[in-house]
């Protein structure tokens, strides 16, 4: 019926809807005659000569434009979104609502803490909850995302070695399966990165680790469960090897959902950990962020935690700053990190409670194992068929790519037509034509079954109508987008001349 | 079970399919000795009703009239913004990896990039960094990478840059051996004295220029920019986005304009919220865009030739480039950027100009009234945006602030820790949210406070 | 201009197209002498910032602990509800006249109808009436139309029906010559005495049965229903929807069940909000559905045979039937129905049952504690839902309520105006929102108040 | 590409997603062991035997279901919605936000007014604003929609005649163009309805009025501008005729948007008026409601206004009840009407202010006249070509229906494909193949032009591909729905057996 469909009249960029002279007087302050004059107090050389090109639209045009834009997104609230490593689970609406109470929203970060004790109490209690559930000795909430948590962690490792005068340690070990932020972080902290391979069973190659490690090793960055979706069984042994070599262990907490309340990074022997609250603690991903990446440490790294932290003396809460913690690696944000995200995580943690935490792990792992087994039964190849899935697992579409010339990317795009967001594709890099699938605990069995069916149907389509699959998607606001052109003919700012 | 949809039947069917008898079996690869016993220190779960009541109690309390700025600013936030931003489709989506399923987020970011580029007078913008402070740190790292003329890791960092930003930049860049060298300000003006800058600064990667600076004072950005460029430095502008509706955009500073522009996006429709989430913006010209950290969205076409949007220049990023990436940033502040985009759309150039102007006028009025009070002096007579510094004669700034608070007024930010040379001094801010009545309320409260304190001192 | 997008150029182009020179010309058919000069008594416009401040001030103030029910009930409202309901697609759409462009609203109403039918035990539900009170009036009108056996315009209306509902019904039905005849309650039980009902009531169109009744007391609905049917009356049930999770649904009352079920939907996720908007629900069996007022949605198929939804049985309605319509209702309470639908979905049968049970248990606990206070007696010992009546011995109910308020407690609804026979009496409500601590707080406050008042009386 | 599209897996009714045993413990109260027992205090005969069939889904399933449902609606926030007579203008988000402040939402309607003075002040000021802008002497806010306002108005007219012992007046006159609620209301108030015709120029046939009127006439119900979108020019004369005959004039305020701040019903000679705040005062229509229908009256009807009303003595506000106003027609709602809607209208009125009111009329009338003229230029037939449009106007598609067998309904459905909500169709009934088009003042010129273009394109399609147009729409969640079957095979409640 395409011949009867019509492009919507409403879908240009906002600047195309803009008209000089339109304004929302309702949103601008009222100025009296003398106030509208050029401020004589500011020298002309510092004043702007011409108005910036911002949209000039009515309030309704703005509301309509952005409401319609929003409808072009897949999201947890509208679609199954099994994006591996990202833990796209339900974000309870209460967390948003309650974190946005006027008393919290209007609180200035530099206002005296006396006027924000309720807010401080939430943060303090969140610190305590995160300590307990990770088995670490102290927590600082300030990092604003996982990667900043990683930075804080590696900076603490560096500060620790430095404080002991152990300054020759210039290398950080990462598995080849590590998330890109791990090596990038190590470099930001002034380290060189040494990669070690992952074995065919998904575990780290301990022999390679032993070879790589030495007096130059500052530490190792691991996730467990790892990014290939399996639990590193020899973690205690690894910890011993690293510690014996004088290195420290960094835990990338992106995959905490799989083990929440089941096993604690602190108990595995890690010295420092970041958590992605936007994953495990269900704060929203917001089309890219914000998140929060608190860090927890073992005893020996405590002095180095980033500030500020929240301290409690009985019923009174206050900020701990560098003055209180002179060995701290310092501040990572102008104030105290993504406070509103922390509030949402706190509310979520309290709704779950002690008894809710292990359930997260149980049901996310149940969902992943179920999907893994069912997909295997439908003929898909698992990357690590000998292993249990954790909260996520990997399907490799290498065979399909070779035999049918239908790639993981093609499967991904066709899944969109079926109403499912695609899993993470092409990560981790070591698995060819990789689908990293993470259903999360908040999805029901029928949804998983629906996805499995869709995969099987696409497999059939790939066998019978490969060309059609290669040109997917068909039913979305856009057909397949030309990434290459996006980079080659760079158009990243709209110019009115068009 | 909160948020878990499984019925007993579902669980049984799933376990059967997997071939285990119990969920516990799925954890059998975890060494037994590592398993947790209990989580005693975590309270048991609350239902939403109880949690809601607790949070309402914690959010309650008087809301004093706020004259603190110092990096976070109270502005009017149109109601439409957060009603749209918290729509599930924006709120619960993630980074637009699947472009076709994320055109909403992608187009919005493209529009945001455009607005920020126009506001700063630059050619490119990224899709956000964490906040203004960490954004400045990234700008410093970028400048060191981008300055082809310089081999230096020295950065000139004026004392008039927000001290918190300087601390954050220090934390982040020091591990790479980058040094931040302080440039002092002129005590009289509260700004950098262009005339007294060294004729031979040596090899320096970049000069940071705050506008307005931390005291609210306007720097001589044109002279500073030209001086920096003359000595082979890049210029990093740290700007307040609201002020740009009024002030020369960094792209037009001096002869060639600034090279990297960064700053805190919070004033653009983002609530104070105890300090976050806010967002850091960063702009540059096209010649440096491949050195820029963070996501960038580009416009392209789809298989039918229709315009559409996708992430671009990803070869700068950690997920492609790993240890060679421009930054480790992955999750950014997308939702807050959505708020800022809607804010700029609702306000438009005219509206933003009025916000800037009204804030400036309110600052002028308040500053004038406060310095008439006995024992209160304005520290700097220079041109300013919406903040100013006042000094107290013979009374402690802390004491003054405490007493103002007792009268329901957050009087400002105490500068004595960061700038001891200023004596007992506070930084005061007045934005467009303040009415004439608010300004007089502050004036009369401070008069009373000063009288009392002077009296008790005498 | 707030909310008006026109630029000067637009206006000029449009005027040119129309062929006039000024907007004023478009009003030239209005006789000159009728045009308004000015609107002096209306204040000039405020911007959103000023308006927001004003409304925040007006919404401020202490929020006492509320034990008032009497037709509007404080329940926990899941946050998800109003975040979804206020999405523009629900909030700013209208009656689904174009079914294909309104499947969201239509399917939601179909789901709502289903839930209400199941909850009340009936076969059909409409899409809402204004509120519980006006819904009862419509039920009375419907009963008179629907009762084929009776020619009467007499309706039996127990005194235990909410007095406000009786007043509203009176206002609405009296113009059609319908009379509401009071049926008294038994002073001991606070319910209608089934035994003392007349053997020969004469020709009556319908009996109204409230469950629970206004005193919170449960009526002998089975006996009453059978008695009414035996005498050719229809039975109109007025029920609290929360209570239906616990109590026999009207569809199962007596031998044949009630004929028309109506009530106030507010307890289902709708905030107290000073009294509205709430919504009236109405259910009946299929044989009466063509007499029902209000919108009804039906499931059908589209041109491709796919299921879809549309307004149906429109021949009952004013826009088709005009003076012969079942009611004049047009705009109803759609958005509030959306809230209730999401509420029932989030709670489910189990959740709603727990709400009802916990409310009932809290009522039991509170009633027990209060009647132990000296000078306080419980008026009725009958089975109740979540409200009860207490009487004060020798002190004025108004006085008691005033003093409770001073302690931060809204103690209940003063019954003396509507039920003078009860003496100084109040109606108290405890829902699931009340904690043990709240209940003791009430108990101890009332103890103190009674002591003081008795003291000052003595 | 239809062969590549797939029905979404998510779109059944909520009951199809329900699974016995699923529940949101987060939303239910916690009961301890003794509390979960059957309440012995309630006799078994009054207890429910089996649980009602309500959906049993997780919170996320609910959120996803209703979020997806919402996306299937056209609405002001997403589409141009020129539904005549309904004034689908932008509903400012501030009105919603501010009316939903916790202090207002938690206010019990029976709480002492001392605890709600801020709320009462808003309502009182709204009464005053509505009085001034309509030119009436007093206003009661309590009616919950236009139709209930009509009821209140006609009941007051009746009470007035009754109070004077003038009890023989049993008829109400309505023009044939009147909205269906008008005659339906008259009947609810116990009146007979007498219809009078509309002339070809859109005005009332005054001769017919003179013939119809008499001692049996209680009053007349009019809208001005009328439902045919023109201003009744001889209104003063009509008022005189009715008043001379001892009748009163009722003003249906649904079309107030066209004259707000320009001319007042009170000045035209009306005795009673209702306003549709959900239209003129921009409160949302909510997929069918709620609205608010305050009534205003002239001096002589003041005693009869429905209660409660708000009274102010200096700075204190209180409710006026029947005790204060013994001649009142009484109460129309359990409490005080749709308070939250009134709050939204109040906020809107204050945002507009005195100067904003006439602008509403000016720009809504400008938009309507522009569209009318442009559509005529594109060859469409106007129902009243000799007249100015008011805020709305009528196109008749009689010619198309005859010549091409493409009806107003077909045009309407095809407009949906073009991304526009259809105008009101087949009302008023006297105009064949009627399109009642009301753009409102909040739409911009480009949007109007887009709609006009779409109409022209559909006209062209009707001429060249009539069959295609007759089968529209094609691009919506449903193709054309079978209304007849909906009524014949009544399916209004979902039954689990299916
Ligand atoms: C395994 C892993 N590590 C680290 C990160 C980085 O976290 P963030 O995106 O919060 O910076 C992510 C997520 O994106 C991840 O999946
Ligand atoms: C002309 C006219 N009169 C009366 C009404 C009835 O108003 P309401 O729907 O608010 O009851 C309407 C609106 O639907 C209308 O358009």
Residue-level pLDDT at A5: 58
Say whether residue D75 is in contact with chain C using an 8 A CB cutoff: yes
Side-chain half-sphere CA neighbours of A489 within 13 A:
7
Crossing angle of helices D146-163 and D181-188, in 10° steps, is 40
What are the residues whose beta carbons fall under 8 Å from the beta carbon of A266, sequence distance 6 or more? A134, A135, A136, A137, A273, A296, A298
Q: Cα separation of C328 and D188, whole Å?
A: 7
Residue A408 in this model has a pLDDT that exceeds 80: yes
State the distance from the centre of ligand 1 to the C-alpha of B327, rounded, in angstroms. 13
Report the SS3 class of residue A72. coil
A23 or D343, higher pLDDT: D343
B124 contacts A492? CB cut-off 8 A: yes
Distance from CA of B456 to the nearest CA of A (A): 24
C261 three-class SS: strand
Say whether pTM exceeds 0.90: yes
pLDDT digits (tens, 9 = 90+) for B57-89: 999 988 999 999 999 999 999 999 999 999 999
Q: Kindly state if the Cβ of D219 falls inside 6 Å of ligand 2.
A: no
Q: Which residues of D touch B3 (CB under 8 A)?
A: 26, 58-60
Which residues in chain D are closer than 8 Å to C103, comparing Cβ atoms? 69, 72-73, 476-478
**Mean model confidence pLDDT for chain B:** 96
Give exposure, D415-427, as e/b (b: 16+ Cβ within 10 Å): bbbbbbbbbbbbb
Say how far apart CA C277 and CA D339 lie, in whole Å.
6
What pLDDT band is residue A37 in, cutting at 50, 70 and 90?
A: confident
Cα pseudo-dihedral C105, C109, C111, C112, rounded to 10: 130
Q: Report d(CA A348, CA C401) in Å as an integer.
A: 39
Ligand of minimum distance to the alpha carbon of B329: 1
- DSSP one-letter code for A442: T
* Cα–ligand 1 centroid distance for A179 (angstroms): 7
Asked if pLDDT for residue B338 goes beyond 60, the answer is yes
**Among C345, C240, C176, which residue's Cα sits nearest to residue D27?**
C345
- Residue A146 CB less than 6 A away from ligand 1: yes
Cβ atoms of residues A198 and A224 within 8 Å = no
Pairwise CA distance, residues C423 & A319, whole Å:
58
- Which stretch of A18-32, C142-156, D31-45 has the lowest confidence by average pLDDT? D31-45
Give the residue among B282, B303, B277, B307 at the shortest CA–CA distance from B293: B282
Do residue A94 and residue C78 have CB atoms under 8 angstroms apart? yes
Cα–Cα distances in angstroms (integers) from residue B414 to residues A109, B68, B369, in the given order:
13, 10, 19
pLDDT of residue A367: 98
pLDDT over 90 (residue A172): yes
The response to whether residue A274 sits with its C-beta less than 6 Å from ligand 1 reads no
- Say what angle helices B334-371 and B103-120 make with each other, to 10 degrees: 30
pLDDT tens, per residue, chain D with 498 residues: 334 556 665 679 999 999 988 888 899 998 877 777 767 789 999 999 999 999 999 999 999 999 999 999 999 999 999 999 999 999 999 999 999 999 999 999 999 999 999 999 999 999 999 999 999 999 999 999 999 999 999 999 999 999 999 999 999 999 999 999 999 999 999 999 999 999 999 999 999 999 999 999 999 999 999 999 999 999 999 999 999 999 999 999 999 999 999 999 999 999 999 999 999 999 999 999 999 999 999 999 999 999 999 999 988 999 999 999 999 999 999 999 999 999 999 999 999 999 999 999 999 999 999 999 999 999 999 999 999 999 999 999 999 999 999 999 999 999 999 999 999 999 999 999 999 999 999 999 999 999 999 999 999 999 999 999 999 999 999 999 999 999 999 999 998 654
- D279 alpha carbon to ligand 2 midpoint, in Å? 9
User: What pLDDT, in 10s, does the model give residues A114-125?
Assistant: 999 999 999 999
pLDDT above 70 as % of chain A:
97
pLDDT tens digit sequence for A132-147: 999 999 999 999 999 9
How many Cβ contacts (< 8 angstroms) between chains A and C?
A: 54
Tokens of C223: 């006996």
A181 Cα to the center of ligand 1, angstroms: 7
Chain A contact for B107 (CB, 8 A cutoff): yes
pLDDT at position A33 over 90: no
> Using 50, 70 and 90 to split pLDDT, how confident is the model at B457?
low
CA D496 – CA D498 distance, rounded (Å):
5
Q: Which residues are CB-neighbours of A182 under 8 A, at least 6 positions away?
A: A150, A174, A221, A252
- In angstroms, the CA C164 to CA C70 distance is 9
Q: A473 CB contacts (<8 Å, ≥6 apart)?
A: A413, A414, A416, A417, A479, A480, B100, B101
- A155 in ligand 1 pocket by Cβ < 6 Å? no
Taking residues C91-120, report their average pLDDT.
98
Residue nearest to atom 7 of ligand 1 (CA): A146
Q: How far apart are the first and last CA of chain B?
A: 66
| Partners of residue C104 in chain D, C-beta under 8 Å | 69-73, 287
Say whether A254 sits in a helix, a strand or coil: coil
**B8 in reach of chain D (CB within 8 A):** yes
Tens-digit pLDDT profile for residues A62-82: 999 999 999 999 999 999 999
Which chain C residue's Cα is nearest to B50?
Answer: C433
| Pair B410, B421: CB distance under 8 Å | no
**Distance between CA atoms of residues A131 and A138, nearest Å:** 6
Distance from the Cα of A376 to chain D's closest Cα (Å) equals 22
D276 lines ligand 2 (CB under 6 A): yes
Per-residue pLDDT at C456: 75
Decide whether any atom of ligand 2 lies within 6 Å of the D147 Cβ.
Answer: yes
């Amino acid at each position: 019926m395409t011949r009867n469909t019509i492009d919507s009249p409403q879908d240009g960029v906002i600047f195309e809807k803009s008209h000089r002279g339109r304004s929302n007087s309702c949103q601008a302050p009222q100025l009296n005659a003398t106030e509208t004059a050029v401020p004589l107090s500011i020298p002309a050389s510092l004043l702007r000569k011409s108005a910036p090109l911002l949209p000039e639209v009515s309030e309704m045009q703005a509301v309509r434009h952005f409401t319609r834009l929003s409808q072009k997104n897949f999201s947890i609230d509208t679609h199954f979104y099994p994006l591996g490593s990202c833990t796209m689970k339900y974000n309870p609406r209460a967390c948003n609502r309650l974190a946005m109470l006027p008393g919290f929203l209007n609180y200035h970060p530099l206002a005296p803490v006396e006027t924000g004790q309720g807010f401080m109490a939430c943060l303090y209690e969140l610190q305590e909850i995160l300590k307990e559930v990770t088995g670490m000795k102290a927590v600082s909430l300030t990092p604003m995302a996982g990667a900043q948590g990683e930075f804080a962690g590696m900076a603490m490792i560096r500060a620790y070695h430095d404080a002991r005068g152990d300054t020759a340690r210039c290398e950080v070990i990462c598995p080849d399966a590590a998330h890109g932020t791990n090596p990038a972080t190590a470099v930001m902290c002034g380290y060189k990165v040494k990669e070690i391979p992952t074995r065919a069973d998904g575990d780290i190659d301990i022999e390679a680790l032993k070879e790589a490690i030495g007096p130059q090793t500052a530490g190792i960055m691991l996730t467990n469960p790892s990014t290939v979706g399996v639990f590193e069984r020899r973690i205690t042994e690894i910890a011993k090897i690293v510690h014996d070599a004088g290195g420290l262990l960094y835990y990338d907490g992106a995959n905490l959902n799989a083990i929440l309340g089941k096993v604690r990074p602190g108990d595995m022997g890690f010295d420092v950990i970041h958590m992605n609250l936007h994953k495990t603690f269900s704060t929203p991903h917001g089309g890219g962020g914000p998140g929060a990446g608190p860090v927890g440490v073992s005893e020996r790294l405590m002095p180095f935690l980033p500030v500020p932290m929240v301290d409690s003396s009985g019923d009174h809460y206050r900020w701990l700053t560098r003055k209180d913690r002179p060995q701290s690696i310092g501040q990572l944000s102008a104030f105290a990190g993504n406070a509103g995200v922390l509030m949402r995580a706190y509310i979520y943690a309290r709704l779950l409670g002690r008894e809710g935490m292990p359930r997260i792990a149980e049901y996310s792992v149940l969902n992943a194992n179920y999907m893994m087994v069912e997909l295997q039964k439908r003929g898909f190849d698992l990357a690590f068929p000998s292993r249990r899935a954790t909260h996520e697992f990997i399907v490799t579409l290498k065979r399909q790519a070779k035999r049918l010339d239908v790639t993981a990317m093609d499967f991904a795009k066709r899944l969109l037509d079926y109403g499912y967001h695609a899993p993470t594709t092409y990560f981790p890099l070591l698995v060819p034509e990789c689908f990293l699938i993470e259903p999360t605990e908040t999805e029901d069995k029928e949804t998983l079954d629906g996805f499995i069916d869709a995969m099987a149907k696409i497999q059939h389509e790939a066998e019978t109508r490969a060309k059609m699959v290669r040109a997917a998607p068909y039913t979305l606001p856009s057909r397949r987008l030309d990434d290459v052109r996006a980079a080659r003919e760079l158009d990243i700012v709209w110019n009115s001349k068009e | 079970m909160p948020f878990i949809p499984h019925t007993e039947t579902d669980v049984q069917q799933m376990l059967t399919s997997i071939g285990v008898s119990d969920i516990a079996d799925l954890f059998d690869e975890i060494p037994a000795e590592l398993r947790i016993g209990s989580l005693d220190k975590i309270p048991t779960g609350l239902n939403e009703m109880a949690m809601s009541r607790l949070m309402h109690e914690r959010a309650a309390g008087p809301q004093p009239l706020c004259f603190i700025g110092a990096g976070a600013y109270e502005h009017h936030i149109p109601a439409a913004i957060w009603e749209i931003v918290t729509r599930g489709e924006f709120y619960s989506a993630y980074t637009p990896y699947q472009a076709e399923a994320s055109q909403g987020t992608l187009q919005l970011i493209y529009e945001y990039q455009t607005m920020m580029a126009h506001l700063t007078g630059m050619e490119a913008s990224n899709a956000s960094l964490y906040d203004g402070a960490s954004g400045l740190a990234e700008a410093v790292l970028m400048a060191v990478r981008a300055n082809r003329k310089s081999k230096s890791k020295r950065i000139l960092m004026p004392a008039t840059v927000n001290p918190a930003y300087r601390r954050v930049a220090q934390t982040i860049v020091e591990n790479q051996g980058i040094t931040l060298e302080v440039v002092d300000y002129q005590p009289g003006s509260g700004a950098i004295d262009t005339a007294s800058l060294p004729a031979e600064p040596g090899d320096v990667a970049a000069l940071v220029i705050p506008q307005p600076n931390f005291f609210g004072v306007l720097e001589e950005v044109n002279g500073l920019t030209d001086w920096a460029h003359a000595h082979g430095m890049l210029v990093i502008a740290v700007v307040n986005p609201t002020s740009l509706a009024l002030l020369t955009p960094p792209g037009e500073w001096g002869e060639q304009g600034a090279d990297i522009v960064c700053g805190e996006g919070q004033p653009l429709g983002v609530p104070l919220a105890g300090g976050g989430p806010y967002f850091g913006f960063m702009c540059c010209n096209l010649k440096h865009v491949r050195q820029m950290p963070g996501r960038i969205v580009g416009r392209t076409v789809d298989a039918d030739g229709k315009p559409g949007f996708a992430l671009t220049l990803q070869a700068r990023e950690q997920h492609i480039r790993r240890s060679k990436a421009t930054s480790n940033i992955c999750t950014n502040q997308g939702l807050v950027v959505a708020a800022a985009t809607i804010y700029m759309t609702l306000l438009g150039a005219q509206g933003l100009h009025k916000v800037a102007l009204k804030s400036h006028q309110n600052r002028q009025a308040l500053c004038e009234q406060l310095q008439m009070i006995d024992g209160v002096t304005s520290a700097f007579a220079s041109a300013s945006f919406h903040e100013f510094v006042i000094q107290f004669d013979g009374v402690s700034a802390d004491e003054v602030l405490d007493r103002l608070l007792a009268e329901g007024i957050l009087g400002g930010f105490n500068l004595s820790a960061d700038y001891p040379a200023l004596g007992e001094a506070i930084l005061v801010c007045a934005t467009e949210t303040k009415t004439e009545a608010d300004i007089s309320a502050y004036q009369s409260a401070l008069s009373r406070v000063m009288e009392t304190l002077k009296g008790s001192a005498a």
